[in-house]
Amino acid sequence: MDVLVQKYGGTSLQTLDRVRHAALRIAAARRRGSAVAVVVSARGSRTDDLLRLAADVGAADPSRELDQLLAVGECESAALMALALTGLGVPAISLTGPQAGIRTTDRHGDALISRIGAARVQAALDGGQVAVVTGFQGVDRAGDIATLGRGGSDTTAVALAARLRAAACEIYTDVDGVFSADPRILPAARCLPWVQPGVMAEMAFAGARILHTRCVELAAMEGVEVRVRNASSQAPGTTVVDRQDSRPLETRRAVVAVTHDTDVARVLVHCRDIRRDLAPDVFEVLAAQGTVVDLVARSGPYESEFRMGFTIRRSQVHSVRAALHELTAAFGGGVHFDENVGKVSVVGMGLLSRPEYPARLMAALAVAGIPTSWISTSQMRLSVIVPRERTVDAVETLHREFHLDRHEPAAVTPAGSGSPATV
């Protein structure tokens, strides 16, 4: 019997009616002959509510006790889902991350999954039950709850699908799939029927909120087919899978999507003591706090002072501000944080092989009167920093510039030719 893993996000479970609707979808999948394992997030704003409670008692930083508190949200969702399924006549059992055999590293608030035993999950499936597993959590070497950080439930679902050798992992959310831009700010955005895992990982890192980067990277490594679908409709959604298209490679559309991220801060580090290369020290400070870095540039060996610039998440500024100030002050330098910026990215394949693309990107933004500062290029992503208040304008401009509001022309075979062409 094929195994199917389904994951339901917080908005998909926000009300009891939505819980029942998800239960009906799970029951239908089981009737079609699949053994179903379900991963659930905390309902609605439950995690944010718990974080506010922790902040009210002065405990906002990641810790053992905060993880103990946050785990409550997913436990509630799993138990409610199991009860709803039982009410429909579908045998079900709820399992916490530790009960499901999910082992993690020791970093509270941002742990990595190190191993999944899944013996109880497999036993439940073999016994005809639906296994409802809490996302976002596991157990560390000390036997304590450890949460997986942002996007943790998606990562749980993909890891469980890999361990169970599932036919697919379906991620249910509040939109119809993965779009060419955020449809909440750009109605012209199109739902993409399929996306390559590498492109999806770049989109996720660059600000697309549908799937988290860790989830997509794990799916690619383990060969898990991920399907993103709307929990409230029967739309076909988007499949994230590495497959071949009938179109010859060089005639495919190179740009797939435009993404944006306003959780960005630009950091400038400087030091007049050129005898000291602060780059290793800076990266050590950032790594110690688990801070993600992008768009890095630094001065060369023959310049009059050490200068280094990079972007981090704006939400992580508070965790590194004091340490960077202390580091630079010790060498007569300083650090400046600019939190009034956004990052806009064009994502696709073979972008550096088309040198006109960075030129088009910069020209389009200039014509629209949108100031730019730093730009980063790679084969799969062109990213640029813009003023925070112009981020949406930049998304609209680039979506139009690269014709993402239009459907890609179909491949046709001209008369007298055996090779495909585009129209």
pLDDT in tens, 298-343: 988 777 888 999 999 999 999 899 999 999 998 889 999 999 999 9
Beta bridge partners of 311: 266, 294
The total of other beta-carbon atoms located within 10 Å of residue 292's CB is 11
Enumerate the domain spans of the chain.
Answer: 3-243, 265-338
Q: What is the mean pLDDT of residues 268-289?
A: 88
Within 206-261, where are the H helices? 213-222
Joined together, the tokens standing for residue 359 give 């030129």
Report whether pLDDT(60) > 80.
no
pLDDT in tens, 64-82: 999 999 999 999 999 999 9
Report whether pLDDT(161) > 80.
yes
pLDDT in tens, 112-129: 999 999 899 999 999 999
Q: What is the mean pLDDT of residues 164-180?
A: 94
Q: What is the mean pLDDT of residues 163-174?
A: 94
Residue 413's pLDDT is 33
The band of 245, judged by pLDDT with boundaries at 50, 70 and 90, is low
State the CATH class of domain 3-243. Answer: alpha beta
Please give the angle made by the CA atoms of 210, 215 and 217, to the nearest 5 degrees: 115
pLDDT in tens, 341-379: 999 999 999 999 999 999 999 999 999 999 999 999 999
Report whether pLDDT(101) > 80.
yes
Q: What does 317-350 look like in DSSP terms, one character per residue? A: HHHHHHHHHHHHHTTTEEEEEE-SEEEEEEEESS
Quote the longest CA-to-CA distance of the chain: 76
Residue 61's pLDDT is 79
Mean pLDDT, the chain, whole residue set: 90
- Confidence (pTM): 0.85
Q: What's the chain's length in residues?
A: 423
State the CATH class of domain 265-338. Answer: alpha beta
Please indicate whether the domains covering 3-243 and 265-338 agree at the CATH topology level: no
The band of 243, judged by pLDDT with boundaries at 50, 70 and 90, is low
Is there a contact between 9 and 173 (Cβ–Cβ < 8 Å)?
yes
Joined together, the tokens standing for residue 107 give 């970093």
Q: Is 417 helix (H, G, I), strand (E, B) or coil?
A: coil
pLDDT in tens, 180-238: 999 989 999 999 999 998 899 999 989 888 888 889 999 989 999 999 999 998 889 99
